[in-house]
Amino acid sequence: MDKTLIGDYLGTTEEYLAGDGTYTEDGKIYAAVIGEKIMDPDRHSVAVKGKPMPDIKPGQIVFGEVQGARKNMVNVIVSKIEGLKESIEFKTGLYVSNVSNSYVEKVEEMFGIGDIVKARILKIDNDLVDIETRGDFGVVKAFCRVCRTPLEKKDDINMECPSCKHKEKRKIAADYGNVAQL
Ligand SMILES: [Zn+2]
């Protein structure tokens, strides 16, 4: 069976009851976790059975991939906790106010889809995990929006594509390029 990804459309609330591992928005049901879609015809329900949440706590340093940015938040799928061997997979949200100590207007300018982010877990509320990239955290690997070549750091905020010379901005981690742990 195909793996359901976070944000995948599953149906409408008129058709189904929204079960575990889903969320609803404007009458539509979406996957909230990565896993297997489970339809229950008797209850007319849809759920997503994902990997159980790992034992995580605020302050832990995590690595993940930017899945998308919208409104005031970046969605990051965490795949690694610093110091832990096993692979994990959970969704986190990076709110614009948690990106930097300085003011950030548009998060979608500071993170690109597919970028690898090093962040710290800020708080955990049920299965909703907030992360922050204040201080030394940020992208450790970023990709050109035009040609997908890894970007080179120019200064604290500016990056350039060595291939097509496209200039971009990022919230850059102090140890940009250090992805040895991944
Ligand atoms: Zn490029």
Reading the chain (182 residues) residue by residue, the pLDDT tens digits are: 567 887 889 999 999 999 998 999 999 999 988 888 999 988 899 999 887 667 789 999 999 999 998 879 999 999 999 988 877 888 899 999 999 999 998 899 999 999 999 999 999 987 689 999 999 999 999 999 999 999 999 999 999 999 999 999 999 999 999 887 77
Sort residue 52 into left (φ over 0), alpha (ψ -120 to 50) or beta.
Answer: beta
- What's residue 60's pLDDT? 96
Query: What are the residue ranges of CATH 2.40.50.100 in the chain?
Result: 3-50
Among 86, 87, 93, CA closest to 121: 93
Within 72-174, residue ranges assigned H as helices are: 107-110
- What's residue 87's pLDDT? 76
Q: How much distance in Å is there from the Cα of 62 to the middle of ligand 1?
A: 27
pTM of the model: 0.76
Q: How much distance in Å is there from the Cα of 114 to the middle of ligand 1?
A: 14
Among 171, 89, 78, 182, CA closest to 133: 171
CATH for 61-169?
Answer: 2.40.50.140
27, 13 in Cβ contact below 8 A?
yes
* Choices 2.40.50.100, 3.30.2350.10, 1.20.140.10, 2.60.40.790: CATH for 3-50: 2.40.50.100
Q: How much distance in Å is there from the Cα of 170 to the middle of ligand 1?
A: 15
Q: How much distance in Å is there from the Cα of 153 to the middle of ligand 1?
A: 13
Q: How much distance in Å is there from the Cα of 160 to the middle of ligand 1?
A: 8
Query: What are the residue ranges of CATH 2.40.50.140 in the chain?
Result: 61-169
Strands (E) in the chain, as ranges, are: 3-4, 9-12, 17-18, 22-25, 28-31, 35-40, 45-50, 61-70, 73-81, 90-95, 116-125, 128-132, 138-141, 152-153, 158-160, 167-169
Distance CA 69, CA 145 (A): 14
Q: How much distance in Å is there from the Cα of 168 to the middle of ligand 1?
A: 10
106, 74 in Cβ contact below 8 A?
no
Which amino acid would we find at residue 27?
G
Q: How much distance in Å is there from the Cα of 151 to the middle of ligand 1?
A: 8
Q: How much distance in Å is there from the Cα of 150 to the middle of ligand 1?
A: 8
